[in-house]
Amino acid sequence: RGDKIVQVYQDLSKETTEWRKSMKPVTTTLLKHNFRYSWGHPLFLKVLKGSIQHTIYSLEEGQHLLKAWNIQADSTSSSPAPGTSATTSE
């Protein structure tokens, strides 16, 4: 029949892990303000605000976006949980 099993594994490289940890101030703040977000590959964060999807490639971009939304980025080190994948795009 041609059916094949495809296995997908999460990228757990040191670079990915360190990048995600560096984004904690942004992701923690997003969760506190009920924003949906998901991790993108290789290294970016997708954030859904209303029906618009925003893409963040660095901590500075994330902080800038939060500032544009009049939200102060959190400086705590609590671990964020992954959000729901965004389905709408800009």
Per-residue pLDDT reduced to its tens digit, 15-28: 988 999 999 999 99
Please give the pLDDT value at position 42.
82
- CA dist 39 → 2, 4, 11, 68 (Å): 32, 27, 11, 21
The mean of the pLDDT values for the chain is: 81
Per the structure, the count of domains in the chain is 1
Residue 55 inside a domain? The answer is yes
Residue 30 inside a domain? The answer is yes
Domain of 41? 14-68
> Please, are residues 25 and 78 in contact by the beta-carbon 8 Å criterion?
no
Residue 4 inside a domain? The answer is no
Residue 25 neighbours by CB under 8 Å, 6+ apart: 59, 62, 63, 73, 74, 75, 76
Name the pTM for this structure: 0.68
**Which residue in 1, 90, 5, 9 sits closest to 53, CA to CA?**
90
